[in-house]
Each structure stands twice: as C-alpha cells, then as structure tokens.
Amino acid sequence: MMIEVKIVSRGGQGGVTTARILAKAAMEEGLYSQAIPQFGAERRGAKVYSYLRIDEKPIRRHTKVEKPKIVAYFDEKLVEEDYAEIKILNGFAEGFCCLNANKIAEELGLVSSGWYLISSPMSGAIAKVLGISLSSLKYAVMSEFSSKVNENVLAAKRGYEVVKC
Amino acid sequence: MQERLQDESYKSGKRVLLNGNQAVAEAVKIAEPDVIAAYPITPQTPVVEKLAEFVAEGVLNSEFVNVESEYSALSVVYGAALTGARVFTATSSHGLAYMYEMCWWVAGSRVPLVMALPTRSIGAPWNIHSDHSDVMILKDVGWIISMAENAQECFDLTLIGFPISEELNIPYSVSYDAFMVSHTAEVVEVRDVELPKRKQAYKILPNSEFALNAVTVNDARHKARKTLMKDLENSRRKIEKIGRCFLGEDFSLAEKYRVEDADYVIVTYGGWSGDFKDVVDEMRDEGVKIGLLKLRFLRPLPEEELKEISGDVLVVDRSALYKFGGMGGEIKRIIPEAKNVIAALGGYEIGYSEIKALVRRFVSGKIGEVEWYP
C-alpha cells in the first residue's frame, strides 16, 4: 500500500528537506519513495507544501497528493482542516503527535537568521510514525547535510525519541 | 509499515534519490561531453548548477562555457561539435524560443548534440510551470525528441541520447515535465555503463578545407532538408538498437501498457503517464478493457504502435496548437476517430481523481472530437 504524507511548513523551516530526508530513509529501508517540493514560488515565511510518497513497488504517479494519510505541521498557526489519519505537530495540541522541534533546534544550534531549522527533528518524528528505523534515518540525514552534520543527526534522533502521540 | 523490499532491484545497480534534473546531470557525467554551454532558466537551472559543480570538483572533465544567452549557448556547442567535440546544453521555454534560430542551424548542419528540455509554458501570460508548449515548437525542426516519464527515464534517455545523436547526426532532445519530473526526487538506478567515444561524421579544424553552409542556390537546401526529414523518419531501428544495447531488450519508441485486448486506449507522453497507468489498472480491476500507449519519442513518431492499437483512442495533450493539442492533430492523421483532450496548461494542477474522472468520461463516450480540460 502506498503511503502519502503532506508536509506543511513555512519557507525556510526545512519542509522540502524533510521530504527528501524521509524519501532517502525509506529508500535505505529498501522501499520506493518520492519527494515532491511545492512547485514554483517558495518564499521565506510563506506557507509551503511538500509531499512524500512511499511504496513497496515503483511509484508511477506524479500528480499532487490529494488525500494524505499523514500530515505534518511545522507550526501551530499552519494547521488547517484535513482528513488525515495521523497528524504531527511542532507544538502541543489535542489529537496530534507532538514535539517541540524548535527547542531541539535551539539546543543544537540549528538556527539561521532567527529561524529554527527543524527539518531534522521533524524528520525524526515523522520517521517514527512511519516506522522507519533510526539507522536508515541517520543515514539519510548524514547524506543530506554538508554542514552541522552531527547536530542534525542528533536532532533527528531526539525528534524520533520525543514525539508523543 | 511495509515489508522491506528484498528483491534483486534493491541489490543490483546503484539506487539513489534523484530528481529529473539531477538524473540528467548524472547521465551527462557518464557521457563526459568535451564542451557544455548553457544559460540558466527555471526549471532547467539545477541541471546547469549540478554540471558546473561536477566540473569544479574535478569529477567531470568538460569545458564549461558561461554564456550570456541561450542563443549563444547553442551557438557555442554548435561550433564545438563541428570540431569533433561531444557537447551538451539545456534550456526551457523562453530560452528555447530565444535559441530557436540556432535549433534550425544545428539540425540543418547535421550536428550531433544532446539538449535537456524540462518543458515549461511559454508566456504570455507569464508562467514558469509545466506544459508542453516549448517542446512543440522544437518538434518539427528536425530533431530527435524523447519525452521522459520519470527521473529514471530522464537518466536513461539522456544517456542513450549521445550515441543516438552521434550515430544519426541529428540533434537530440530529452524533454521532461517542469517540476512534476524535473524537481520531484525519486529512486533512480544510476546504471554502471560506459559510453563509446563520440563517433565522427566530419571534423572542421582551423586547417580543414571545408565550406559549411555557404549561401546555397538551386537544389542544395532542398536536398539537405529532404535528407534530414527522411533520415529522421527512418531513424527508428537505429534508436531502438542503441536503446536496447544500454537499457535492455524491451526498449522501444513507445511503451504498450495492457493494450493487447483493449477496447479503449489512452495515448500519453511525459509525467502524467504513470497516473494514467494507475487508472488503467483500477479500471481493469472493474472489468473495463482499457490500455495505454506511452510515446517515449515524439520524433520519430512511433507510427507502428499507433497503427496497431485498436478500440477507441484518447490522446491526452498538455499544449494547444491550432484546434488540437500538440500531438492530437497528427495522431488523427493515423487514427482519424481518435479523441483529443487539451489538459491543464501552465501548471494548472490536476490530481489523480481528476485524471480518473477524465478517463471515466472517455470510456462512457462523453468526450467529443477535441475538448479542453478543464
């Protein structure tokens, strides 16, 4: 069964990178995957959608994800109406799998121009929900970053461990 | 979570996560062109950036020429190709329009080269998104035009483009949908192959006594164009022979998907083909005899496969020429009863459910000779 994930973030938070990390981690698990960035004018601070597909067989479709099973929100103000089975939130609210990704990013110095870079902790949380192994996640994070690699690996691990549903 | 895949596809080759643009760059790296010249334009820019990175890192031994326009990009690789160099360029949309004159010069001069063309709308109104308006203006210039469905085909069709173009002495374009394929990262098997060195038709060097493209009178231009058109029309066997050599025995100009006993056949090309295949599978499960023919090449046109298909035919286009979509009009020359849909120009997003609804309308006989969707 194909699993589809929608990632709702602000331009600069790392939503697109999160989709790539998870696609790589799924590939490392021996699965097929697809990371789809929002097409067009991504701007810092603007609402950005990215998508992830994971399947046991090659993924053929390329149109946008319509009915994601999982939705991840990178900030409480981004939450919108959805019909997802599982919702993940950077923040705390009823009915969500929650974590404080900003705090993890701050503690590890993953901040740029006042923005918390939360692709790694959020990847960790989503990977946990997806059932992706920690070792595949670490591999993906390491291959995606060229600076602050250890901090990002640690942030992903913390996101993986602290997310609560 | 799903079972881990433990089949051979996981173990064989080198599986990496690449988007369409990166897959093109990986294939170009294997081909190792002597000269690359390109001017950046959305959505092609990452191809150029990646290749520039390869050259800077020293993993690709190519002369990278920074130019001030697309017209110069194609002119530079044209000149280099005449000296016997293997060359590559890439563009999109307005960039293609800007180099359009040179597209004719390289075709008429029978210069082998490969150009990546992530397909983007042409303004006005201003639009950076996907449709096939740009590749349609290149279609009838005298180039070989391949059209990739996904990142894997971006890699494969770029790789074989070099030997094909050099065998036929016809320029070659690998086209793929903007963003939907160019920016979507997927699992790609980077094939471990070596390409032969460039095959030489002729070389023009400073001491060569060779006049190219002087002003012609009488029959010269007529003969040149006639020969090019005939060679392109008859290029199918050579393209397939090279394709099979590098990509496997089932390679062909068009992919036949569940068409054998089909009462309904959808003709597609490019990034939507996979969505339509998923719809075909769903409707087959419901008992509808439906199949799909994917055009992997627009030039040469896979006429044999088009002539073979039976049943009601729907051609799905993402561009509009006069009255019909980009391929609909000419496929009607082969299949006069074919229906044609012109869908979602300029990145207008349609989802899988809308694609399914479109196919259902076709199967229930509700689509006219040519329709816009939406």
Contact B346, B131 (CB under 8 A): yes
What chain A holds in terms of domains, given with CATH numbers, is: 3-162 (3.40.920.10)
| B221/B258 same-domain check | no
Give residue A44's pLDDT band: very low, low, confident or very high (50, 70, 90).
confident
Do B205 and B275 lie in one domain? The reply is no
User: Taking 80 as the threshold, does the pLDDT of residue B6 lie above it?
Assistant: no
Its pTM stands at: 0.95
Cβ distance B274 to A36 less than 8 Å, yes or no, reads: no
Residue with tokens 């949380």: A125
Answer whether B277 sits within 8 Å of A30, measured CB to CB.
no
The pLDDT tens digits for B151-173 are 999 999 999 999 999 999 999 99
**Domain harbouring B128, CATH code:** 3.40.50.970
Give the residue from chain B lying closest to A55, CA to CA.
B2
Chain B touched by A20 (CB under 8 Å): yes
- The answer to whether residue B45 is domain-embedded is yes
Helix axes B20-31, B45-57, angle to 10 degrees: 40
Q: A1 CB contacts (<8 Å, ≥6 apart)?
A: A55, A56, B2
Same domain, B287 and B263: yes
Q: Clarify whether residues B93 and B205 are in a common domain.
A: yes
Domain membership of residue B126 (yes or no) is yes
Does residue B56 lie in a domain region? yes
Does the ipTM surpass 0.90?
yes
Instruction: Assess whether B203 and B86 both reside in one domain.
Output: yes
Q: Are residues B266 and B290 in the same domain?
A: yes
Write down the pLDDT at residue A42. Answer: 65
The 10s digit of each residue's pLDDT in A77-124 is: 999 999 999 999 999 999 999 999 999 999 999 999 999 999 999 999
Instruction: Tally the domains of chain B.
Output: 2
Instruction: Specify whether B306 is located in the same domain as B170.
Output: no
Q: According to the model, what pLDDT value does residue A41 have?
A: 62
Last residue of a domain, one of B182, B215, B247: B247
- Name the amino acid, one letter, at B344: A
The reply to whether B2 falls in a domain is no
Minimal C-alpha gap between B181 and chain A (Å): 7
pLDDT tens profile B272-328: 999 999 999 999 999 999 999 999 999 999 999 999 999 999 999 999 999 999 999
Cα-based distances in Å from B244 to B139, B156, B248, B289: 24, 11, 5, 30
Q: Give per-residue burial for B171-208: e unless 16+ CB within 10 Å, then b.
A: bbbbbbbbbbbbbbbbbbbbbeeebeebeeeeeeeeee
**Host domain of residue B363:** 254-373
Tens of pLDDT, residues B114-147: 999 999 999 999 999 999 999 999 999 999 999 9
d(CA B233, CA B168) in angstroms, rounded, equals 11
* Interchain CB contact of B223 with A (< 8 Å): no
Task: Establish if A32 touches chain B: CB-CB under 8 angstroms.
Answer: yes
The CATH number given to whatever domain includes residue B275 is 3.40.50.920
Closest residue in B to A64 (Cα–Cα): B351
Helix (H) or strand (E) holding B29: helix B20-31
Is B23 among the domain residues?
yes
Is the CB of residue B350 less than 8 Å away from at least one CB of chain A?
yes
Q: What is the pairing mode between strands A97-99 and A86-90?
A: parallel
